[in-house]
Amino acid sequence: MASGGCDRTPVRLNEGPAVGSLERHRMAYTIEGSTGTWEVVVGLEVHAQVVSQAKLFSGAATAFGAEPNSQVSFVDAAFPGMLPVVNAECVTQAVRTGLGLNAQIHPVSRFDRKNYFYADLPSGYQISQFEHPIVGTGEIEVELADGSTKVIGITRLHLEQDAGKSIHDQHPTKTLIDLNRSGVALMEIVSEPDIRSPEEAGAYVRKLRSILRYLGTCDGNMEEGSMRADVNVSVRKHGEPYRTRCEVKNVNSIRFVMQAVEAEATRQVEVWESGGTVMQETRLFDSGRGITRSMRSKEDAHDYRYFPDPDLLPLVLDEDWIAALKASLPELPDAKRARFIQSYGLSPYDAAVLVAEKATAEFYETVATGRDAKIAANWITGDFFAAMNRLGRTIENPPVTAAALGGLLDLMADNTINGRIAKDVFEAMVETGKDAATIVDEKGLRQVTDAGAIDEAVNRILAANPDKVAEYRSGKDKLFGFFVGQTMKALAGKGNPALINETLKRLLAA
Amino acid sequence: MLTDLTIAAARDGLRAKDFSAVDLTMAHLHAIEALNPRLNAFITVSHAKAVDQARAADVALAAGEQRALTGIPLAIKDLFCTEGVRTTAGSKMLSPFVPPYESTVTAKLLHDGAVFLGKANLDEFAMGSSNMTSAYGPVENPWKRRQDDTAVLVPGGSSGGSAAAVSARLAMGATGTDTGGSIRQPASFCGLVGVKPTYGRCSRWGVVAFASSLDHPGPFARTVQDSAILLRSMAGHDPKDSTSANLPVPDFEAACRRGVKGLRIGIPREYRSDGMPVEIDALWQQGIDWLRAAGAEIVDVSLPHTKYGLATYYIVAPAEASSNLARYDGVRFGARENGGDLRDLYERTRAEGFGPEVRRRILIGTYVLSAGYYDAYYLRAQKIRALILKDFTDAFGRVDALLAPTAPSAAFAQGENMDDPIQMYLNDLFTVPANLAGVPAASVPAGLDANGLPLGLQVIGKPFDEETVFAVSTAIEQAARFTALPSLRAGG
């Protein structure tokens, strides 16, 4: 039985950047088999639905969740004599994505037909780009949980049509067809086989999704199917050339991508070690059982009979147009992260967390602008994220608004409240939706900054603890914290910490 | 007889109120009623719609609004989708299909005031050179052999119904499509002018596809001028067809009057094969003499890759067809044969819906695109296609147009050439190169063979220079003085 190498069982499959399980020592992910140590080789093909008003080759709309067959043109239904006309918006989005992936843009590309019969493929072929894709090689950098980064190569990005949907469970004997998705533009983004672990596979998809969302070229909603991954997995002993790979089709969440890598690699190690041979085939991931299952073998594979689509001319892009698109790209996660480190003095880790989602970065910048940027980062990655996760909210529907959180930080900055009270105020804000100032006023949480009141409280504490005062004065410095705590308690937590410190030092020294 | 008028003459007659558009349309509808049961040129006659369109034409004429084709009755090859009128493509597969849209070419004709008499018969999915593959029965060529008027001749194909209808005076003109000669060969067989314009000149939108990179819509008429009038209405840029050319449409009718003085006419030596019938060779020589006499300079040219044209064509066209016809699966429209499961439904529907020639070409096309054969067939054919285009480009560096025969024979009888598909494919020998290269070409009636059957000469021009094709065609027409009439015709 295969098991995880390096004391790192291959069961660490949590989605998210694995906050709290930071490992400083970077160890290669391996599978320990009975015949030795196995390395995992993964390449991903991600299908990302292009954000566009209309389909790739027709004017029909693309909105998700519309009535079945309500967004279908005669072109999408492949009526006789209908012809495709490429939608410039989809081409623009593909080029912008290519630029965002630091990839070569091919000034001339071509559309090919991929021929196969299926009930939800009206024309009997999918228009795709086989030999000459619109985007060539590129790369993206992914951040790993141990704080390291890794560059994953992009082989290509091409445009293609989505098929319709076959619905098998609405009628006892019939299959229903919904062609709303038929003809919707997809970008297929193919990675190099540079990925070596489930974690890297997850980090790659997460980073890719982040870039697509920043660009606005794909909404990245995997649960709606607008982004899905085909996971190519093989295993090998160290130093070997690649062995046969299997493709796990249509994996629809980052967590499942990571699990599929794990499950498929483990299966392949078992096959090799039991004297068998891994056959090239297409497999499906059974998320319920956490295993992959054979879908079709290479022998059963379709012969797609690719050939250039004679209804479409080669796609020729103007270099100036490409340059203009490049100049108009928004700030992408890597650049934003660098800027957050540079201008706000954030740690690389905090910066990475804050830029992962465009909306989070925007939230952060709203809070941080004109305030202490580090305190803003600490609050967002700390109490704010905790509340958001606890309540199952999202950054688009946050537990408190950026403006409200800023208001809370302002009350701390001008000494209206101290940090301890601020945490209570924050919870009250989450609970009531009221702003910080209102809560402070209603609950009388305004900080005590009256020197006389603090003097009086300190004197009372010192008088009540003569033995501790003596010990402190004879050198037991650690007791200072005790006096602070007692004073704060006497002031119901509302004392200004700096004033308390100063007063204590003055009176204990007397 | 109104049915004997040319389009140009009818246009003048309508303007002068010599007769009404309804008169003109009714004359043709009566001719169809009398002759179509025998000729089978129309699959569908849209009698009521035609009369409505003729009435509307008369209203327009009364208001002094005469467009290029106001009130002119035409036949439409049943490959053009016509809104609300059944469109079969000559196949059982589309027997129940009524398009909810109008093809761009027919929409342009309607916009110019044309009257549509009905949908003309054709080889199934335009695959054939005899009109024998139609699921709606063969079409009879209105022409008869002088010695043997019992033999039923084919009108050629695939646009056989269009050619027979115009030849027998059942329509003043017709639309056709030419993928490998499907306008020019029937025009030659039926004594008509047939024009295959430059690829991209006429939109393919709404035309049932056979082979997308080779399909060319174009007109049939009884005179060069009439064909120029029709083409001008049919042509023009269409944003719905990505391969449509964004170029202005010239006045083709005016180009007919240009003359050929000073033009350099190329004679492609590779078209002169050993087995060429003497009559065809003699006709060609006659054409050369006519053009020289009209002031053109005759130049010997070489199109060295001509001999590969037919083989290239019969790889490229079936390859594209195998993919284009995949949509006829019984799922969304057209005929369906229910089966146990999806695969069974496909197999039954397609076995039942397609005739043998269509099935043959789908199989050839599927084969040449298959893994392991693609490079040897399809890819190589595309390379030769590029060389054939280069042949034309090189030749057109030296000459303004080319003259060649249209077909290797006159019309043959139904049943002939039927056993051997290769023999049938040889009909396209002289016509396929222009499709592969996308250059414009016309067939003009130039003489009769020993049996009194019409023979055509082919004029091939530079890309988007249909004007020169019309000028040269007019010179041949004037010199040939082709006045022979088919035996079967309205009032005949």
pLDDT band at A5 (very low <50, low <70, confident <90, very high): very low
**Helix ranges restricted to H, B252-341:** 252-255, 278-293, 309-324
Domain locations along chain B: 2-263+398-480
pLDDT for B402-459, tens place per residue? 999 999 999 999 988 777 777 778 888 899 999 999 999 999 999 999 999 999 999 9
With contact defined as beta carbons under 8 Å apart, do A95 and A322 qualify? yes
Closest CA to B223 of B191, B269, B200: B191
CA dist list (Å): B474 to A151, B12, B187, B257, B465: 69, 20, 15, 8, 15
Question: Which pLDDT score is estimated for A447?
Answer: 77
Same domain, A207 and A123: yes
- For A20-36, the three-class secondary structure string (H helix, E strand, C coil) is CCCCCCCCCCEEEECCE
Helix (H) / strand (E) element for A246: namely strand A246-251
**Beta-strand relationship, A3-4 and A30-33:** antiparallel
Give 3-state DSSP helix, strand, coil % of chain A, rounded to 5.
Answer: 40, 20, 40
- Whether pLDDT at B250 is above 90: yes
Q: Which residues numbered 347-366 in B keep a CB inside 8 Å of some CB on A?
A: 366
- The pair of structure tokens assigned to A428 is 């009250």
Question: Which pLDDT score is estimated for A27?
Answer: 67
Is position B182 annotated as part of the catalytic site?
Answer: yes
Any idea which of A39-48, A236-245, A440-449, B426-435 has the lowest mean pLDDT?
A440-449
Determine the Cα–Cα distance for residues A267 and B319; give it in Å rounded to an integer: 41
Is there a domain that residue A177 lies in?
yes
- For A170-228, the three-class secondary structure string (H helix, E strand, C coil) is CCCCCCEEECCCCCCEEEEEEECCCECCHHHHHHHHHHHHHHHHHHCCCCCCHHHCCEE
Is there a domain that residue A484 lies in?
yes
**Across-strand partners of A185?**
A161
Mutant choice from B87, B93, B240, B341 vs A, greatest count of A C-beta within 10 A = B240
With contact defined as beta carbons under 8 Å apart, do A52 and A90 qualify? yes
**B478 conformational bin, left if phi > 0, alpha if psi -120 to 50, beta if neither:** alpha
Question: Which pLDDT score is estimated for B21?
Answer: 98
Chain A residues inside the 8 Å CB shell of B80: 81
pLDDT for B379-414, tens place per residue? 999 999 999 999 999 999 999 999 999 999 999 999
Burial of B406-416, coded b for 16+ CB within 10 Å and e otherwise, reads bbbbbbbbbeb
The catalytically annotated residue of B91, B158, B227, B409 is: B158
Determine the Cα–Cα distance for residues B349 and A413; give it in Å rounded to an integer: 77
Is there a domain that residue A262 lies in?
yes
Across the interface, whether the CB atoms of B323 and A113 are under 8 A apart is answered yes
pLDDT for B88-137, tens place per residue? 999 999 999 999 999 999 999 999 999 999 999 999 999 999 999 999 99
Any idea which of A13-22, A433-442, B11-20, B410-419 has the lowest mean pLDDT?
A13-22
Share of chain B above pLDDT 90, in %: 94
- Whether pLDDT at B316 is above 90: yes
Question: Which pLDDT score is estimated for A444?
Answer: 81
CATH 3.90.1300.10 for the B2-263+398-480 domain, yes or no? yes
Chain A residues inside the 8 Å CB shell of B97: 80
What's the whole-model pTM score?
0.90
Share of chain A above pLDDT 70, in %: 94
* Cis bond before residue B46 (omega within 30° of 0): no
Same domain, A433 and A459: no
Same domain, A299 and A424: no
Same domain, A97 and A220: yes
Q: Which residue has the tokens 């790993």?
A: A144
The per-residue pLDDT of chain B, averaged, comes to: 96
Is there a domain that residue A2 lies in?
no
User: Containing domain of residue A456, as a range?
Assistant: 451-509
Determine the Cα–Cα distance for residues A484 and A473; give it in Å rounded to an integer: 15
Section B282-288 average pLDDT: 97
Q: State whether the Cα torsion A92-A93-A97-A100 is positive or negative.
A: positive
Q: Give the DSSP letter string of A103-155.
A: -PBPSEE--EEEE---TT-TTSEEEE-SSS-SB--EEEEEE-TTS-EEEEEEE
Question: Which pLDDT score is estimated for A4?
Answer: 34
Which residue in the set B80, B242, B333 is minimally distant from A79, CB to CB?
A: B333
pLDDT band at A26 (very low <50, low <70, confident <90, very high): low
Question: Which pLDDT score is estimated for B324?
Answer: 98
CA dist list (Å): B430 to B248, B265, B408, B437, B460: 29, 17, 8, 13, 11
Closest CA to A349 of A18, A59, A97: A18
**Across-strand partners of A145?**
none
- The pair of structure tokens assigned to A327 is 């100049």
Chain B residues inside the 8 Å CB shell of A82: 205-206
Angle in degrees, 0-180, between the axes of helices A497-509 and A451-464, rounded to the nearest 10 = 50
Same domain, A221 and A139: yes
In this structure, how many other beta carbons lie within 10 angstroms of the beta carbon of residue B288?
A: 16
Helix (H) / strand (E) element for A167: namely strand A165-167
Across the interface, whether the CB atoms of B81 and A80 are under 8 A apart is answered yes
Which residue in the set B212, B323, B332 is minimally distant from A77, CB to CB?
A: B332
In this structure, how many other beta carbons lie within 10 angstroms of the beta carbon of residue B150?
A: 7
Is the interface score ipTM higher than 0.85? yes
With contact defined as beta carbons under 8 Å apart, do B463 and B304 qualify? no
Is there a domain that residue A488 lies in?
yes
Is position B144 annotated as part of the catalytic site?
Answer: no
* DSSP 8-state code for residue B479: H
The catalytically annotated residue of B182, B227, B322, B443 is: B182
- The pair of structure tokens assigned to B392 is 């034309």
Higher pLDDT, A449 or B342: B342
Helix (H) / strand (E) element for B31: namely helix B21-39
Helix (H) / strand (E) element for B266: namely strand B264-268
Determine the Cα–Cα distance for residues B246 and B235; give it in Å rounded to an integer: 11
Same domain, A408 and A425: yes
Which residue in the set A80, A177, A303 is minimally distant from B370, CB to CB?
A: A303
Tell me which of A443, A473, A488 is where a domain ends.
Answer: A443
The per-residue pLDDT of chain A, averaged, comes to: 91
Provide the number of structural domains found in chain A.
3
The catalytically annotated residue of B20, B46, B77, B462 is: B77
Is there a domain that residue A430 lies in?
yes
Q: What is the CA radius of gyration of chain A?
A: 29
C-alpha count within 13 angstroms, C-beta hemisphere, residue A189: 33
| Helix and strand counts by DSSP (H, E) for chain A | 16, 17
pLDDT for A130-188, tens place per residue? 999 999 999 999 988 888 889 999 999 999 999 999 999 999 988 899 999 999 999 99
Determine the Cα–Cα distance for residues B492 and B483; give it in Å rounded to an integer: 14
3-state secondary structure of B88: coil
Same domain, A241 and A316: yes
Is there a domain that residue A172 lies in?
yes
* DSSP 8-state code for residue A18: -
